[in-house]
Structure 1
């Protein structure tokens, strides 16, 4: 099956599209990546999207405009990938959409909202579209996150020692293999770093390129202590969070009355990300942590994280070292989840999300040729193999 996976994370900067040929062979999902492309959001759309995020209030007209414009942008990314990698035809598109709100109360997820109307994708590609992956797991009592955990568990099964997968996007999430596996959002990945950089540059820069600002700054122990007092870090998994909590307004509330140099603020929130990831993983004693996501391009963050993990005898690696480009991973994971949905197979691990049972995920928008579910296999896949 030729599948395109679409993903835009909590950094809200671009839509990643990965094309893959996916098949079931015996007890394994076999994945052959055809290519990846990335379509940045138009400046005007990104600005409107960010302005609409919590804690902002907005009207339904804005929601409608964003759902349409984001859907059209996802359709453009899917169409570009389809034309470039598959000569203009695909069997399925799996669209995560753009998360704009993840509703958490007292540790329980009540709902989630991803915008990006899938009808535009179906219209552009002619293919059926699986979207809204998270809601079904939430309806079954789960967190709806991190859904990449099933992909991680299949992909890393059989690794020596105890492997953990880490994605550092706007929010960082981890999957630790075991019996059973465990997965959770550790807290901010790039979210507070990006917020600090945008505040320092008046919006001229959206992230700390090459970790340069953090490298020039010094960690402020008082600010770090205030940040570490956040109750989220003390919650037990399964747990999830988002920019509803970790945003620019959050950072501004904890900054001291006496202004700090911008580089010190960036250095401090970078240290926070490294420290909270390492602390969240420590109870599970992983022997290797395999990182992906935008945070892997920040050498200051990665160096701080590697130092923290070494203290607990865990080696930090990137998914690139295992043959999976870091920037491909999340879009490819949702391509696999869409493939599972198309075969009537569950896409979430209850042990990781806290759901009462495993569920087939997503909502289906039929393509031009309609849609018929393939015959489900007699047993669920046990492995995921990447082939050249």
Structure 2
């Protein structure tokens, strides 16, 4: 079964896509990654989205319009990906998270927009969407769902391996053993950095490319200490967070408390160091000896260099070494979840999300043909082996 996975993450800068052709052999799943890419949101759409996100106030009318416009953007991104790979059997769309409701350390609800009917109409393929909420109904956080992919990819590695995703939010899956796994959101990776870059106009790309701005600044130690004192970091795993907590006003409030006036470069350097220190602290406390890194942040040499310096006994590896290109790993994870949903396979790790039990995820929207699902897979998956065929059909990325 060939599945297209799609997601726009916490940085809300565009739509990541990955097409994976899966086959099952004796409980082991194999996947060939045929496509990976990212399509930026149109600037005016991204601006509207940013203006509607917490802590800003919005209207149901605006949410309805964004749901449609983002759904149409996802539909065009899906069509572009499918055109490069000759068709897919299923699309799994995460959509765009606009709110993740956490109260008292518990996730109570979550909202992803990007109406899947537009994708089904544009491509003719059935669509799995609304993927996080079922885990929340079972007592979980609905995050980090990439932990299911992590456990399959890291199965059998010696020592204490972990997978670190440096997206808008940094999340980590620690795999001590097949029955001893946990995962959680550490805190901001790129979310706060990107927010400052966008608000200041420091880079028209909307992010600190190659960490150049951070490298030109100096860390404001007083501000850094204040940010590190956030109570979120002291909460036990599993836990989840997002732009509801770590947003632009969050930074302004911290600066006001400290009475400092950092330059844009110094502020970005400080927020970059915040990512390094929060991640390194958790890696050390977990006794991790091998860290498999993915996400946009792994392309930032200031973050990666800071982690290597802070973690001299830890081997850092790109997820590319495991067949999951670092820029495409989350989209691959949702392609995997889509395959699992179609085959009736629960695609969550309860110890990672905090749920009572694993659940089959998502809601299905039929495509152009009658909805016909494959035979259910009765036994849990034991492993996943990924290989990439993208060198032939994907241009090199500069970020």
Relative to the length of structure 1, the TM-score reads: 0.96
Partners of 1:197 and 1:378 lie apart in 2 by 48
Which residue number corresponds to residue 307 of structure 1? 309
CA contact (8 A) 1:90 1:125 kept: no
Mapping for residues 236-275 of structure 1, pairs under 5 Å = 236-255=236-255, 256-275=258-277
Structure 1 position 128 matched with structure 2 position 130: no
1:197 aligns with 2:197: yes
What is aligned with 1:99? 97
Q: Which runs of 5+ in 2 are unaligned?
A: 389-399
- Equivalent of 2:114 in 88, 93, 116: 116
**2:386 matched to 1:377?**
no
User: 2:275 matched to 1:277?
Assistant: no
Equivalent of 1:288 in 266, 287, 290: 290
**Aligned residue in 1 for 2:148:** 150
2: CA distance, partners of 1:267 / 1:318? 23
CA displacement at 1:282 relative to structure 2: 2.1
Displacement of 1:44 after TM fit? 0.6
> How far off its partner does 1:33 sit?
0.9
Extract structure 1 runs of 4+ deviating beyond 6 A: none
Task: Kindly indicate whether residue 341 of structure 2 is the aligned counterpart of residue 341 of structure 1.
Answer: yes
Q: 1:275 to 1:338 in 2, by over 3 A?
A: same
User: Equivalent residue for 1:162?
Assistant: 160
Q: Secondary structure at the residue paired with 1:327?
A: coil
Query: In structure 1, what is the equivalent of residue 171 of structure 2?
Result: 173
Deviations 1:11-41 (A, max 9, x none): 1111111111112111111101111232110
Q: How many corresponding residue pairs?
A: 384
Change (3 A) 1:277 1:253: same
SS, match of residue 150 in structure 2: helix
Which residue is equivalent to 2:51? Answer: 51
Task: Give distance in 1, aligned partners of 2:36 and 2:291.
Answer: 24
Structure-1 residue corresponding to 2:397: none
TM-score by length of 2: 0.94
Please list, as runs of the form range in 1=range in 2, the aligned pairs for 1:28-107 lying within 5 A after superposition: 28-86=28-86, 89-107=87-105
Structure 1: unaligned runs, 5 residues or longer: none
Query: What residue in structure 2 maps to residue 350 of structure 1?
Result: 350
Q: CA RMSD in A?
A: 1.3
- The correspondence for 2:138, drawn from 137, 140, 150, is 140
Aligned to 1:4: 4
In the alignment, the residues of structure 2 paired with residue 387 and residue 202 of structure 1 have an alpha-carbon distance, to the nearest angstrom, of: 38
